[in-house]
Amino acid sequence: MSDNRSDAPLREDIRQLGGLLGSTIHEQAGEGVYETVEEIRGLAKEARAGDAEAGRALEARLGQLPDELIIPVVRAFSQFLNLANIAEQHHRVRRSRAWVRDPETGPLRGSLEEFFNRMLDGVEPAALHETVSQLDIELVLTAHPTEVMRRSLLQKYNRIAELLGQGDRLDPTPEEIEEVHQSLKREITAAWQTDEIRRRRPDPQDEARWGLAVIEQTLWDVIPHYLRRLDRILQRRTGEPLSLDAAPIHFGSWMGGDRDGNPRVTAEVTREVCLLNRWKAVELYEREINQLIEELSLQCASAALRDWVGNAWEPYRAALKQVRDRLHATRAWIDARLAGRRPSDAPIYWRTAELAEPLMICYRSLQQSGGGVVAEGRLKDLLRRLSVFGLTLMRVDIRQESTRHTEVLDAITQALGIGSYSAWDEAERQRFLIRELDNRRPLIPRDFAGDEAVAEVLDTFSVIAEMGADSLGAYVISMASKPSDILAVKLLQKEAGVKTPLRVVPLFETLDDLNGAQSCLEALLAIPWYRAHIAGEQEIMIGYSDSAKDASHLTATWALYQTQEQLVQTARRHDIQLTLFHGRGGSIGRGGGPTHAAILSQPPGSAAGRLRVTEQGEMIQAKFGLPGIAERNLELYTTAVAEATLAPPAPPEDEWRAVMDELAERSCRDYRAMVRETPAFIDYFRHATPEHEISHLAIGSRPARRKPTIGVESLRAIPWIFSWTQTRLLLPAWLGAGSALAEGLAGGRESQLRHMYQAWPFFRAFIDMLEMVLAKSDPAVAAWYDLRLVPDELRGLGETLRERLAETRTSVLGVSGHDNPLDEAPVVQRSVGVRNPYVDPLNLLQVELLDRVRNGHEEDLREALMICINGIAAGMRNTG
């Protein structure tokens, strides 16, 4: 089947949704607005096709729009881009299933079927079964401020995707076709009448509720369905099923626990979020138990079940009603805690195993009493959910900056009169920490009272002791660089009386910290106390965002690769099981990109059956908002980690390493020369992008800056990338890389670079990601911003950056050998092409709005500007 034929349903979906949106605009906003939108759309398409006169006419038409027409025009183009995204997501699901009906097309790369077919050519079935069954993949949902769309709209868009699926049914009747059409019209009309803009900045509890909504609305049902598929294919291809308690993929969260740079996340917030997670889990389990009570009217039961419930007429219902009553008591207990009341003393569920026990008794009884086929239905699904979600759905990580722990210990040591902890060198700190870790007496006096910041950190450790390991995951230390940073958290957990201490995870982010990660791990493992207390396991987090902002995307990518290699080697040498935690974002500049290729391009041994990775902001909705998409992403994670474990890539050749060292050095030098050492750069950035205006979007609880300074170093990586994405320059993803590659090509390395691209998955993934960036970028659009928004004396800097973007394009295509970016990904290439005529007017309107807002019309047009920012984000498919 050709690409054109296979994409015909997508084109039809976009045509239908676009037509329905047009009729909605005509009905809801009037003929004048509709005709204006159509005129602008026509000019944008002609301009994209190369008609310069149409381009000038488009700019003039948008510049003349009266204020009252700006918002409906912006909304029209934004809505279309969101509808196009829905159609594309649905088409991805359609394509993943197409091979079942047409086996000649073959299963998609990375699907369970394709993976098992390929692996069993060289891997023994028993080894394949063992690897898949023992996978430990944790997806950690984070609430970074990149999700620009309101949940109210997301729910409507999800409904539209469901309706597109209904339209795919074989042989629908005319009445069914018309019903789907009318339902689509209703949803699009409702979306048009829904406010796109959040009027209130969310608090951390709101963010936590959004994460829970993803679990409830999608993953709660997708997980058992996916594990059934995995179970069937394991049974069919290896002869052994997936064990009932297997949880190859499970979920964590930073929502309500990530306090690094976010003063709104307090100890009380963390306590509340942990209770909210438990409350929602109990509610979902109650719902399932009630359905099982309706279903399991069977009377045949095992002796074990009879011993538990006595001579009940319907033993399963009797058992499950006891479970329901205890779940109800648990929810009442949580309600009381959330309301600040004293809970009752009724028995509640504290641990997952307590809920699993009666369910397993029922399951075994059915298997032993002739009801095995019934046991394999809803009850088995519930047991699988329990293995994956536990009693908290997602365990919350705590994240805090290392300096906050230093401040606490300094306050304590000074209060005790034993010196200043912050003034001690590393050796003295370690001696003190290890001595106190071994000491059974408390370190902190009962009457100790630190300042507000110190008290907040100590309160957080009290919450850890209160909530326990069932509710909490890891304790992540940002800006970690030395063993005392990790030992300090160990000591503070001990002092708080934490019974089951959280694992302590250092996060290495900047280039210097990445380069020092191995020596830090070596020093840690050389401490006998530490080795004795980690039970042979160590987790380390590596950050993509700050390293790229610090040193360039190319330099950071190579540093991350080398750091992983070094950490894996160190762990093997010390016989330690290492888990790498990847702090990836949605955009290319923050480690984003196709999941499967990204995992398989990592160094050998870095994903040996275990992986943690963040799913940030809008990527949560993009990957897990629709059931079909969610299941596809679950299988991509499963197959990629399994393949990286069973058939890791070969290590790179020494010559390749030498080339990458040269490229990284040149890239870092050129990037920093521009971003840090060019005096006018910050001023240009502020004028040429909507960075200041983005700070007014109510899209996250965290502030845009860590510290109140004006340099790029204090700006969070997300708004830094978001701003450049809006102007279509996408500078953080390519700056430095183009000049480094150009130097390599000019220096006679063309054949070597091309060989690296063909033979080394890591380098190929990097170049392919640059091609994605180049396909989305547009120097002509960026020039619009300069022409209207940048002072004359700064415009030369913009011209220089666009010249460097052109150089990057030439260099990247020189390495890949392609004529155009994404020549090997025609579906994505066409996707970008379809969007451009709809994003272009939004960019031009954003320039117009920024100019007007910055010249006195701020209050009148701010709403239109916010909608425009949302629309461009939808068109670019990511923000930060």
Q: From 414, 493, 487, select the one nearest 457 (Cα to Cα).
A: 493
Bridge partner list, 705: 715
**Residues of the domain holding 293:** 269-389
Q: Per-residue pLDDT tens for 82-105?
A: 898 888 888 888 877 766 556 666
Residue 852 lies in a domain: yes
pLDDT at 147: 47
Q: From 20, 177, 2, 168, select the one nearest 90 (Cα to Cα).
A: 168
Q: Please confirm, yes or no, whether 549 is among the known catalytic residues.
A: yes
Q: Per-residue pLDDT tens for 634-647?
A: 999 999 999 999 99
> Coil, helix or strand for 690?
coil
* Residue after which a domain boundary falls, among 371, 389, 407: 389
pLDDT at 158: 85
Q: From 652, 808, 838, 657, select the one nearest 737 (Cα to Cα).
A: 808
Cβ-contact 839, 782 below 8 angstroms: no
Residue 309 lies in a domain: yes
HEC string of 539-587 equals EEEEECHHHHHHHCHHHHHHHHHHHHHHHHHHHHHCCCEEEEEEECCCC
**Is pLDDT above 70 for 186?**
yes
- From CA 292, how far away is CA 384, in angstroms rounded? 15
Structure tokens at 461: 């450790």
- Work out the average pLDDT over 133-149: 78
Residue 523 lies in a domain: no
The DSSP line for 443-497 is: SS-TT----HHHHHHHHHHHHHHHH-TTTEEEEEEET--SHHHHHHHHHHHHHHT
* 60-74, 286-300, 853-867, range with the lowest pLDDT: 853-867
Cβ-contact 54, 837 below 8 angstroms: no
| pLDDT category of residue 146 using cuts at 50, 70 and 90 | very low
| pLDDT category of residue 713 using cuts at 50, 70 and 90 | low
Considering all CA atoms of the chain, what is the largest pairwise distance in Å, rounded to the nearest integer? 89
| pLDDT category of residue 106 using cuts at 50, 70 and 90 | confident
Q: What length is written for the chain? A: 880
Structure tokens at 852: 């007007």
> Coil, helix or strand for 730?
coil
| pLDDT category of residue 728 using cuts at 50, 70 and 90 | very high
* Residue after which a domain boundary falls, among 350, 365, 389: 389
HEC string of 51-68 equals CHHHHHHHHHHHHCCCHH
Q: Per-residue pLDDT tens for 446-499?
A: 889 889 999 999 999 999 999 989 999 999 999 999 999 999 999 999 999 999
Residue 707 lies in a domain: yes
| pLDDT category of residue 1 using cuts at 50, 70 and 90 | very low
Question: What is the CA 309 to chain-centroid distance, rounded?
Answer: 45
Percent of residues, the chain, with pLDDT higher than 70: 93
Question: Looking at 90, 91, 129, 144, which residue is catalytic?
Answer: 144
Interior angle at CA 4, CA 3 and CA 7, nearest 5: 80
Residue 66 lies in a domain: no
Structure tokens at 586: 């949605």
Residue 452 lies in a domain: no
CA dihedral 521→526→529→535, nearest 10 degrees, is 60
Q: From 710, 693, 708, select the one nearest 872 (Cα to Cα).
A: 693
Residue 496 lies in a domain: no
**Is pLDDT above 50 for 323?**
yes
DSSP 290: H
pLDDT at 172: 82
Cβ-contact 690, 850 below 8 angstroms: yes
| pLDDT category of residue 715 using cuts at 50, 70 and 90 | low
Residue 235 lies in a domain: no
DSSP 110: T
* Residue after which a domain boundary falls, among 389, 421, 452: 389
- From CA 122, how far away is CA 120, in angstroms rounded? 5
Q: From 222, 246, 242, select the one nearest 230 (Cα to Cα).
A: 242
- Work out the average pLDDT over 337-366: 94
227 sits in the region (left: phi over 0; alpha: psi -120 to 50; else beta) called: alpha
Question: What are the φ/ψ torsions at residue 396 (nearest 5 degrees)?
Answer: -90, 125
* 61-65, 518-522, 823-827, range with the lowest pLDDT: 823-827
> Coil, helix or strand for 344?
coil
- Greater model confidence, 177 or 764: 764
DSSP 216: I
Cβ-contact 408, 458 below 8 angstroms: yes
pLDDT at 109: 87
pLDDT at 39: 95
| pLDDT category of residue 879 using cuts at 50, 70 and 90 | very low
Cβ-contact 174, 182 below 8 angstroms: no
Mean pLDDT value across the chain: 90
Cβ-contact 718, 701 below 8 angstroms: no
Q: Which amino acid would we find at residue 81? A: L
**Is pLDDT above 60 for 3?**
no
pLDDT at 876: 84
* 54-58, 236-240, 499-503, 827-831, range with the lowest pLDDT: 827-831
| pLDDT category of residue 587 using cuts at 50, 70 and 90 | very low
Helix (H) or strand (E) segment spanning residue 431? helix 426-438
- Work out the average pLDDT over 401-406: 97
- From CA 678, how far away is CA 381, in angstroms rounded? 59
Q: Give how far Cα 777 sits from Cα of 41, 524, 821, 832, Å.
A: 20, 44, 11, 10
* 197-201, 304-308, 376-380, 730-734, range with the lowest pLDDT: 197-201
Question: What are the φ/ψ torsions at residue 346 (nearest 5 degrees)?
Answer: -60, 145
- Greater model confidence, 414 or 720: 414
Q: Is 331 exposed, middle or buried (0-12, 13-18, 19+ CB in 10 A)?
A: buried
Question: What is the CA 380 to chain-centroid distance, rounded?
Answer: 29
Question: Residue 287's domain is classified under what CATH number?
Answer: 1.20.1440.90
Q: Which residues contact 35 (CB under 8 A, 6 or more apart)?
A: none
| Buried b or exposed e, range 454-479, using 16+ CB within 10 angstroms | bebbbbbbebbeebbebbbbbbbbbb
- From CA 181, how far away is CA 160, in angstroms rounded? 10
pLDDT at 499: 94
Bridge partner list, 543: 583
DSSP 832: H
Total number of domains constituting the chain: 2
Helix (H) or strand (E) segment spanning residue 411? helix 402-416
Q: Per-residue pLDDT tens for 767-808?
A: 999 999 999 999 999 999 999 999 999 999 999 999 999 999
pLDDT at 523: 96
- Work out the average pLDDT over 349-368: 96
- From CA 616, how far away is CA 258, in angstroms rounded? 13
Question: What are the φ/ψ torsions at residue 778 (nearest 5 degrees)?
Answer: -155, 105
- Work out the average pLDDT over 842-856: 90
**What is the distance in angstroms between the CA of the first residue and the CA of the last residue of the chain?**
36
- From CA 71, how far away is CA 197, in angstroms rounded? 12
| pLDDT category of residue 704 using cuts at 50, 70 and 90 | very low
- Work out the average pLDDT over 856-874: 80
Q: Is 263 exposed, middle or buried (0-12, 13-18, 19+ CB in 10 A)?
A: exposed
pLDDT at 878: 53
Question: Looking at 129, 549, 596, 687, which residue is catalytic?
Answer: 549
Cβ-contact 101, 83 below 8 angstroms: no
Cβ-contact 317, 296 below 8 angstroms: yes
